[in-house]
Amino acid sequence: MARKRGRDIHGWLILDKPLGPSSTTMVNRLLRFFDGRKAGHGGTLDPLASGVLPIAFGKATSTIPYIMDATKRYRFTLSFGESRTTDDREGDVLATSDVRPSDEDIRAVLPSLCGDVMQVPPVFSALRVGGQRAYDLARAGRPPELPPRPARIDSITLVDRPDADTAVFDVQSGKGVYMRSLARDIALACGTVGHISVLRRTKCGPFDLSHACSAEQLGLDKTDETRDKACVLPVPLLEAATALVDIPALAVTKAEGKTLICGQAVTLAHLEGGVPDGVETVPLWRVMIGEHVIGLCRVAEGRLRAVRMLENHLFFGEQDVDYS
């Protein structure tokens, strides 16, 4: 989201999102709170979910797609015995079951839910059906039939069993996986029904809870009258390129970097830093001059071409840096 007025603020802020507000609500609050011009988040968390919510300001918004595509980790509690309209504790009860699976029953079904799977999204989701949000149709009493969608679930681990009615899981997954759907599907695979009662994201791409600040640490619990306006940014923002650290790095010289910035390709045979083995099998490279990330490139037909460049000012602005 962009604002007509505001300061130029660039970088990532990692919020430990509280329960209650939506991801978009938190982005808007931080944008106003810090008086920024432009911000966006790197992956939606439901209002009843907490945890790692990466928020990009200014130029960092150009790296949001790479966080959206990144691997994520979650911890959730599955409550057995009731399926609900929303697949979480907020919804109305749809069906009940007296079946309570054992730990062995649960572990036996988890491998079948991992890997590249087809997942039916929750009816109460932001997916568009005929130009309308699925949750709007569901609330209007016309829940849509949502087709299964491809999903990648790397691992599901049963980590705790507080009682017969609940089980706690750690999950690592790719883009677009619905934890509410996964909780529902685990229960169904165990011969019962269930819904997610607690959900927390612990990692999103390179960002985890160690990077995250709470709303209280950021001063979001204060009013304009009580907060210290001299300290608009209570924590330093992480550089935009921090979002790209999971992408393999490829070193180039300053001359090669300038060629890429200008939209021209660099022949691999001419790369002074050498070419790693299997360079053409990697879908995306994080191109670096020394310790500085200048952008993202792809390799095809023996040439390195720019996909998205971040540091044009290093070559053409007043802040030019000498890497020699």
pLDDT at residue 280, as a whole number: 81
Residue 2 gets which letter from DSSP? Answer: B
pLDDT at residue 4, as a whole number: 65
d(C-alpha 218, C-alpha 26), whole Å: 12
Exactly one of 16, 35, 46, 224 is catalytic; which is it? 46
Question: Are 197 and 88 a contacting pair, CB within 8 Å?
Answer: yes
- pLDDT tens for 116-153 read 999 998 887 778 888 888 888 878 878 888 889 999 99
**Which residue, among 77, 89, 180, 185, has the nearest Cα to 126 in the 3D structure?**
180
Higher pLDDT, 9 or 166: 166
User: What strand order describes the sheet that includes 303-309?
Assistant: 249-251, 285-289, 292-300, 303-309, 266-267
Question: Are 183 and 119 a contacting pair, CB within 8 Å?
Answer: no
Higher pLDDT, 270 or 44: 44
- pLDDT tens for 67-107 read 998 999 999 999 999 999 999 999 999 999 999 999 999 99
SS3 of the chain: helix, strand, coil, percent, to 5: 25, 35, 40
At a CB cut-off of 8 Å and minimum separation 6, what does 61 contact? 38, 39, 40
46 is a catalytic site residue = yes
pLDDT at residue 318, as a whole number: 41
d(C-alpha 232, C-alpha 277), whole Å: 47
Q: Is the pLDDT of residue 219 over 90?
A: no
- Model confidence band, residue 321 (pLDDT cutoffs 50, 70, 90): very low
Radius of gyration of the chain from its Cα atoms, rounded to whole angstroms: 23
Helix and strand counts by DSSP (H, E) for the chain: 8, 18
At a CB cut-off of 8 Å and minimum separation 6, what does 232 contact? 7, 34, 35
